[in-house]
Structure 1
């Protein structure tokens, strides 16, 4: 927790109301997202109890699994709704021209977005996807293929949820916590009811703190899932399950109807809170870089559809070492880019980073606007250099690429850092955004007295070079250990 976050949390605790931690919304919100609430039964991690979902706040769909027996009919209905939402995003495409690294291709004009209450629901959907995508397809049962396809898409969506800045599957508590700071602990912020009470208390509440205390009342509080409350399990759910096990066929129909009514009443408050949170977030102005990240989301969705059409094999249960390393590196790069873009867009984020040394602001004291350097080939390059005086901590290494929200196309390379008694002098070289020597863009140049805030550049993190499979040891997913060795060591030892 940063110094700024700690300060805001203490102020919120003092005033009793949540405080804004971000001026802009940094994730895309669809006009018709698919809301999804899940409850799971005790026992196997992936066995569902109920799912409430839909795109209309006034007409949710409730799917309930029987207390015992097959869950396939319920999963088939869930597959129809989820895949229907996904297929509806595939109606229109756009043409992407060829680039230096990619050929011309088509991309869908939209992508699916599913909103869930909390990260625990994401983990439940991940376990459900792992279970469903490896199920055998029975041609005699048409629903088996749709259930397996549901597993494929749940795995894709939960994988996207691990990528910072992705908006395919979003836990609402994380989304709200990105933009508001409450006076309760981060652990308490994982409860949607209390978090929303702090942020948007009802009119009769004296403050967000009072509303949160009322929301914690055991007589009124209901978990947002996927686990249910112990009191609800013992007092209401367990008696119905026992009655179902002892009942005959006619009574079971009545019990299932009672179970539907009970679970609807249980999930309805969370359903309404989800749409309340959606309305709050939709009212925030969207950050500049959000559209670019949604473009990447549409590209990833288009690639996944292409994979499903031309290959269709389920993702492996466990990644090989190289694939896992690539995934980790890509996640790190995306996280760094997302953090840098948020800082470039949002003054609130920049203020927080200045307290941690990941950004600094200062006044330009000197500038060398005509500086020319010569590269290895002898070609002249225009590389202006200037000095900035700051009182912020500077915890960056020389050579780090930086950016400024005032000049988004410019890049600044951190040079020598000199610590003085009352300030820190930072030497910076402009490396991009200023045109060429024969046609320079002088608008990128600061002038003495300008105040600049510099953050890490979105493109500062580069993917590491990883070996091809044939050059990877068999212990890490490369060729088998009895693979022919071309190094000549065997011959040398004979």
Structure 2
């Protein structure tokens, strides 16, 4: 937690109301997202209890699984809703021409977006997807095929949720926490009701703190999922589960306890359903950052490629990644995190202010511009490398050679050449390394004027996929060699033991 974030939390705790930490919304929000509120039974991690799902705030679809027996009907109904939402995103497409090493692609103009209340629901959907996508499929049973397809898409969406900047599967508490700071702990911010109470308290309450305290008192009477409250289990669910078990054991009709269970869960899940749409309205009201459009384009590309994979191959994703696949996934996640942080800093002055407190950015006034500075390139030709001097009062934690970016000149790149410390301001000499054109065709638009105040942030490293070995060249301890390769590890151990005995 940065110094600025800590200060905002302290001020929010003092005033009793949440404070904004961002001027812009940094994730794309669909006009018709699919809301999903899921509950699971206490016990088996992936056994669902109920789901409230839909894209209409006034007409949610409630799906309830029986306390015992098959959950296939409930999962099939959930699969129909989720797959219908995904199919709706495949109605229109656009043509992307070939570029560099990228082949041409027919990309969908939309991508699915599912909003859930908290990160715990994301984990529950991941576990559920791992279970469903490996289920056997009966070619004559459409429900079993749709359930396995649901498992495939839940795995895809939960994997996308691990990527910073992705908007395919969004936990609303983390989304809200990205834009507001409350006076409670980050762990308490995972409760959607108390978080919204801090951010947008009802009119009849004195402050967000008072509204959050009232929301905490009503915790047993609402369900945010995926786990249920122990008091709710003991006082309400357990009697209905027992009544259903007795009816099933005695061969009697089980529709009555199931109907009572459905009415109970509808009443308890409805408040959280309304809170999810309340959170969506607050986030939708924020102006969208420019970088979110580019990230949503990447989301549509990833969705299109997943649809192509499902149509051409269709095999379930492995339960565990092999070593090379895990290394690639880690590299992609690291690059996504760096790119997301850089784009947030370029878009949002609040983010730049926070980075200045951590030393990852500095702001200052341009005092001099050397527009005629050139260097000799490797071939001896002159290269135009204009320089500028910036005077700053920020504490610098950077060294010469550090690459920088500036929010005012996004196509330009900068490098620190020299830092001169003094008792007052610090002078930083910068060289423009990208975006300035050529010596015979210079781009003067990247040159700031003397007296301009600019903020420079650390530029992310260029994305380069590391050279990784093929599976045939991977050690057996990390998933290789191929399965038909003889394993002599036991012989080596026996030889070692014999040598020790001698």
TM surpasses 0.5: yes
* More off after superposition, 173-182 vs 460-469: 460-469
The superposition leaves residues 97-144 of structure 1 with CA deviations (integer Å, 9 ceiling, x where unpaired) of 110111111000000000000000000000000000000111232211
1:361 aligned counterpart, secondary structure: strand
Counterpart for residue 312 of structure 1: 314
Aligned residue for 1:34?
A: 34
- Cα separation, partners in 2 of 1:415 and 1:469, compared to 1, 3 Å: farther
**Counterpart for residue 302 of structure 1:** 304
Cα distance, 1:483 vs structure 2: 5.5
1:198-224 CA-partner distances (Å, limit 9, x unpaired): 001111111111100110114665231
SS at match of 2:410: strand
Paired position in structure 1 for 2:190? 190
- Given that 2:220 and 2:231 are in contact with CA atoms closer than 8 Å, whether structure 1 keeps it comes out as no
- Residues 341 and 458 in structure 1, CA contact (< 8 A), matched pair in contact too: no
Contact 1:401 1:460 in 2 (8 A): no
Contact preservation (8 Å) 1:337, 1:461: no
1:252 Cα shift? 1.2
What is the aligned partner in structure 1 of residue 62 from structure 2? 62
* 1:113 corresponds to: 113
Deviation at 1:467, TM superposition (A): 3.1
Higher mean alpha-carbon deviation, 270-279 vs 461-470, is at 461-470
Other-structure match for 1:154? 154
What is the aligned partner in structure 2 of residue 360 from structure 1?
A: 362
Correspondence 1:251-262 to 2 at 5 A: 251-262=253-264
Can you list the C-alpha shifts for 1:250-305, whole angstroms capped at 9, x where unaligned? 54101100000000011000000000000000000000111000000000000000
Specify the alignment match of 2:23 in structure 1: 23
Report the Cα distance in structure 1 between the residues aligned to 2:401 and 2:481, rounded to whole angstroms. 39
Query: How do residues 248-397 of structure 1 correspond to structure 2 at under 5 angstroms?
Result: 248=250, 250-397=252-399
Over aligned residue pairs, what C-alpha RMSD do you find?
A: 1.6
Distance 1:482 1:269, change over 3 A: closer
Q: Which moves more between the two structures, 275-284 or 399-408?
A: 399-408
Aligned to 2:493: none
TM-score between both structures, scaled by the size of structure 1: 0.95
After superposition, the Cα gap between the structure-2 partners of 1:481 and 1:155, relative to the gap in structure 1 and judged at 3 Å, is closer
TM-score (ref. length: structure 2): 0.93
d(CA) in 1 for partners of 2:216, 2:119: 20
Q: How far did residue 456 of structure 1 move?
A: 2.4
Q: Which residue does 1:417 correspond to in 2? A: 419
For 1:97, the equivalent position in structure 2 comes to 97
| TM-aligned CA deviation for residue 332 of structure 1 | 0.5
Asked if 2 retains the 8 angstrom alpha-carbon contact of 1:119 and 1:171, the reply is yes
Q: By how many angstroms is 1:471 displaced?
A: 3.7
Q: Is the 8 A contact 2:220 2:232 kept in 1?
A: no
SS of aligned partner of 1:355: helix
Matches of 2:281 and 2:402, distance apart in 1: 39
Q: How many residues in Structure 1 have an aligned counterpart in Structure 2?
A: 484
Q: Give 5+ residue unaligned stretches, structure 1.
A: 485-494
CA contact (8 A) 2:220 2:229 kept: no
CA contact under 8 A between 1:114 and 1:169: conserved in structure 2? yes
CA contact (8 A) 1:356 1:393 kept: no
* Equivalent position of 1:134 in the other structure: 134
**Residues of 2 paired with 1:469 and 1:376: CA distance?**
39
Whole-angstrom CA distance in 1 between matches of 2:219 and 2:128:
31
- Give secondary structure in 2 for the equivalent of 1:238: helix
